[in-house]
A and B are shown apart, each in its own frame.
Chain A
Amino acid sequence: MKSRLSLIALFASLCAPLAFAQGFKPSRTVDLVVHTGPGGGSDVLARAIAVMVEKEKLLPVRLQVINKPGGNAAVAAAHLAEKRGDPNTLGLFTGVWLQTPLVSSEAKITLRDLTPIARLVLEPAVIAVKADSRYKTLAEFIEAAKKNPGQLKQSGGSNTSRDNVVRQLLQKSTGARWAFISFPGGGERIAALLGGHVDIMVIEPEEAGEHIRAGNMRVLAQVSEKRLAKFPEVPTLKEAGFDVPVVPQVRGVVAPPGIPKENVEFWQDFFRRLTRTPSWQKYIEDNQFEDGYQNAADLANFYDEFTDRMREILKDAGVKTVR
């Protein structure tokens, strides 16, 4: 009698989480909010995700992309915050979402104010020079920079972008100094390098691919934990002798604040399943991303680590942080 009761109890307790997990299903079209306009990096990824969801039939409803550009991701973040409690809205965040609140007091919503769901990818980078540059290794460049402080130049994005973060970390650890010139568009940065107006740049491996193949660019080192498949002969920063942390460029998913735990778990599992599908694997491979899946709890920890480290780096760079 007792054993049968306990068996029933055991059975019931096993079913309960299952029932919970199946309790939530999206009831309408799911909105995936991105902070760029159509064609921007996040928009392209979001649309690719939407296509994958259709193809692999991962959801009973459609996933649609909502563009909320403006404010350096502050508008998108605020939009999500407004959708408090809505289980059918998600946001695709990138590093900008994490950095903008650090430096702009107008951007009031941080990732902590939203509900972290999952981290999806890490984007590595490579350090490239023009093919006919005299620097054959990163060490040579650093040496030259030490001898001529402030005279060598790097093209990159804004001063809070990953390009500058890599530069700040290298400068701090080696004592060398070189100039950083911001260009708003990737095309202009590459043009500056290929035209010989700057000496070095940090660039995504996919972007560099064709230029390397055509013999216009050369890669000195890669900014990643281990060597990328397409760059087997290029040393990582650590292997090249520079012991700097690899601050990654991340993309992940957040949800509006105030959504119940079962929704978080549903979405977390959904994205885990997404990252296991063959179309996702192919996408990652084609774009030379690294699978950086983390569930909600790990993402929250990662966020704290990341922002702490960014604050330090920005302080060293002389940028005022407001949060």
Chain B
Amino acid sequence: MEILAGLLNGFAVALEPANLFWCFVGVLLGTVVGILPGLGPPATIAMLLPLTFNMNPAGAIIMLAGIYYGAKYGGSTTSILMNVPGESASVVTCLDGYQMARKGRAGPALGIAAIASFVAGTVGVLGLMLVAPPIAKFALSFSSPEYFALMSLGLALVVLLAGRSIVKALLAALVGLWIASVGTDLFSGTSRFTFGQMELLSGIDFVVVAIGVFALAEVFVNLEVREETQLLPVPKGLKNLLPTMQDLKDCRFAFVNGSVIGFLVGALPGGGSTIASFLSYGLEKAVSPRREQFGTGVIEGVAAPEGANNSETGGALVPLLTLGIPGSGTTAILLAALVLWGFKPGPLFIPEHPALFWGLVASMYIGNVMLLILNLPLVPLFAQVLRMPVYVLYPLILGVSMVGVYSVSGSLFDLLLLMVFGLLGYLMRKLDYPSAPLILGLALGAGMERALRQSLMMSEGKLSILVSRPISAVMLSFAVLVLLIPMFGKLNAWRLRALEQG
């Protein structure tokens, strides 16, 4: 089989000492970059590009790719330990990951994040290797109506994130949609909700809102009382610092879920790791036997999104390497890098540069193994962070949040926004509004509106386009079903009460 032959050649390339070295450098750098909030792979890769001119192209792309998927491993660290999302893909990990840390299970959370990342990352590479061309073709048939349906499905998951009050969850999601509309409308050039501020013309950065609403709000809530003792218990003993066998069993479905959804969503040109992680989390919650506990520290709620954002890298490389179409920010830079070195990704890339492609694929397997070996021993080390006295930890979280936001855009205005959203997040906590729906609305809002308007432009105003195409019709029906789930629950309860009374 030519795939096998290609892969063997790829390993021959990837196992060359120089390339192994660059792989290690890449994944190490990626992990560090991922741990630090704000600074992300796109910026790091852009900064390293000039240095790669004198390297051999295989080593260079192996290193840069290592940074890309390595960062996804590190991103969960601050999410779990501090409720500070390292980058937009790690936001969902905060939901259950941080709660696990509060219960003293930071170690298992970090550990399962690493393991899920490894499993899903490897599956992603497998997908890239085995099914890239047909997936790429499938992805091309996905257009605006299908995106709208996919995002509606994602938004319908709000219902599952609701907690006690569905009305409040929906309101939070609507506020998220509103925040997503701030800026210049792509289609008409109209400025919406910019309050005369030019910095708002390009919209409000998702990470700024997420860090404000999650991390800052958490600090404010915790500073309400002056605890004499540590709030975050860290049990001793190695047993408690890594996931148990029971944990691994609980996450069986999450591993599959994260791998598949991440890869598929990543392969869509407009998809991204944020959507992938939300969808994976939502699906996991929908099928889990303990779905009511999601949001309080359920381990599969960490495994699913963490897996999704890792297999997403494999998926995102599919359109890049088979069609030359970059998806997200990082793949766009990888494209620029490849072009700079004289390789032009496109349909002819794999046939013309098999050594480079297979070398990269093989290096991704190796890289994932390296990352697992790197990250697992670090888990107990990181868990010790929580043994810091709270009066050291909370200022640290504030500092990390500010640096994270500032390092993305270098703008003091963004820090101002951070303050505003920190206050908003605090008020939401006090008034019992769940923050996950707001973040979900923000993540999906812009994309949903764009997809809807694009669809209507394609169909010349006919809404029927959303249901006349099979894929979008199916997904929209799922969305409707999801919205009706709580209805079933209430109907059942009502019926039981009627039976009792009658």
Question: Chain A interface (Cβ within 8 Å of chain B)?
Answer: 37-39, 43-44, 47, 50-51, 67-72, 74-75, 78, 100, 103-108, 150-151, 153, 158-160, 179-188, 190-192, 194-195, 197-198, 206, 209-211, 213-216, 319-320
Q: Is B288 an interface residue (CB 8 A)?
A: no
Q: Is B467 an interface residue (CB 8 A)?
A: no
By the criterion CB–CB under 8 Å, are B346 and A213 in contact? yes
By the criterion CB–CB under 8 Å, are B199 and A39 in contact? no
Partner of B198, one of A44, A104, A206: A104
Q: Is B184 an interface residue (CB 8 A)?
A: yes
By the criterion CB–CB under 8 Å, are A191 and B201 in contact? no
What A residues does B196 contact at CB under 8 A? 105-106
- Residues A197 and B143 in contact in the complex (CB < 8 Å), given A44-B336, A187-B325, A210-B347: yes
Distance from A280 Cβ to chain B, minimum over Cβ atoms (Å):
15
Distance from A268 Cβ to chain B, minimum over Cβ atoms (Å):
26
Question: Chain B interface (Cβ within 8 Å of chain A)?
Answer: 42-43, 45-47, 49-50, 53, 139-144, 184, 186-191, 194, 196-202, 269-270, 319, 323-327, 329, 331-333, 336, 339-340, 344-349, 409-411, 413, 450, 454, 457-458, 460
How far apart sit A198 and B349, CA to CA, in the bound complex (Å)? Answer: 25
- Residues A211 and B346 in contact in the complex (CB < 8 Å), given A70-B411, A188-B269, A191-B319: yes
By the criterion CB–CB under 8 Å, are A51 and B50 in contact? yes
By the criterion CB–CB under 8 Å, are A209 and B336 in contact? no
- Residues A213 and B326 in contact in the complex (CB < 8 Å), given A71-B201, A106-B200, A153-B458: no
How far apart sit A103 and B46, CA to CA, in the bound complex (Å)? Answer: 31
Most buried by B among A100, A159, A191, A194: A191
Distance from B11 Cβ to chain A, minimum over Cβ atoms (Å):
27
- Residues A71 and B269 in contact in the complex (CB < 8 Å), given A186-B326, A191-B319, A211-B346: no
By the criterion CB–CB under 8 Å, are A47 and B46 in contact? yes
Beta-carbon nearest neighbor of B44 in chain A: A38
Partner of B199, one of A70, A100, A209, A210: A70
Beta-carbon nearest neighbor of B339 in chain A: A206
Distance from A174 Cβ to chain B, minimum over Cβ atoms (Å):
20
How far apart sit A206 and B324, CA to CA, in the bound complex (Å)? Answer: 12
By the criterion CB–CB under 8 Å, are A39 and B333 in contact? yes
Beta-carbon nearest neighbor of B203 in chain A: A70
Q: Is the interface of B mostly helix, strand, loop or mixed?
A: helix
What A residues does B326 contact at CB under 8 A? 185-187
By the criterion CB–CB under 8 Å, are B198 and A107 in contact? yes
Distance from A80 Cβ to chain B, minimum over Cβ atoms (Å):
13
How far apart sit A214 and B347, CA to CA, in the bound complex (Å)? Answer: 6
By the criterion CB–CB under 8 Å, are B336 and A69 in contact? no
Distance from B444 Cβ to chain A, minimum over Cβ atoms (Å):
15
By the criterion CB–CB under 8 Å, are B46 and A74 in contact? no
What A residues does B454 contact at CB under 8 A? 181-183
What A residues does B189 contact at CB under 8 A? 103-104, 158-160, 319
By the criterion CB–CB under 8 Å, are A159 and B200 in contact? no
How far apart sit A49 and B43, CA to CA, in the bound complex (Å)? Answer: 18
By the criterion CB–CB under 8 Å, are B327 and A187 in contact? yes
- Residues A197 and B458 in contact in the complex (CB < 8 Å), given A38-B47, A71-B202, A211-B346: yes
- Residues A70 and B46 in contact in the complex (CB < 8 Å), given A103-B189, A160-B189: no
By the criterion CB–CB under 8 Å, are A39 and B184 in contact? no
Beta-carbon nearest neighbor of B461 in chain A: A150
What A residues does B184 contact at CB under 8 A? 72, 104, 158
What B residues does A159 contact at CB under 8 A? 186-189
How far apart sit A188 and B188, CA to CA, in the bound complex (Å)? Answer: 19
Known: A39-B45, A192-B144; 12 extra A-B contacts, CB below 8 A, are: A70-B413, A75-B202, A105-B191, A106-B197, A151-B460, A185-B326, A195-B140, A195-B142, A195-B143, A210-B348, A211-B323, A320-B190
A-B contacts, 27 listed (Cβ < 8 Å): A37-B42, A37-B329, A38-B45, A39-B42, A70-B199, A74-B198, A75-B198, A75-B202, A104-B198, A106-B196, A106-B198, A158-B189, A159-B188, A179-B460, A181-B454, A181-B458, A182-B187, A185-B269, A185-B270, A185-B327, A187-B325, A191-B139, A191-B270, A213-B346, A214-B348, A216-B347, A319-B189
How far apart sit A100 and B198, CA to CA, in the bound complex (Å)? Answer: 10
What B residues does A197 contact at CB under 8 A? 143-144, 458
How far apart sit A210 and B321, CA to CA, in the bound complex (Å)? Answer: 12
What B residues does A186 contact at CB under 8 A? 326
How far apart sit A183 and B196, CA to CA, in the bound complex (Å)? Answer: 25
What B residues does A188 contact at CB under 8 A? 269-270
- Residues A70 and B201 in contact in the complex (CB < 8 Å), given A44-B336, A319-B188: yes
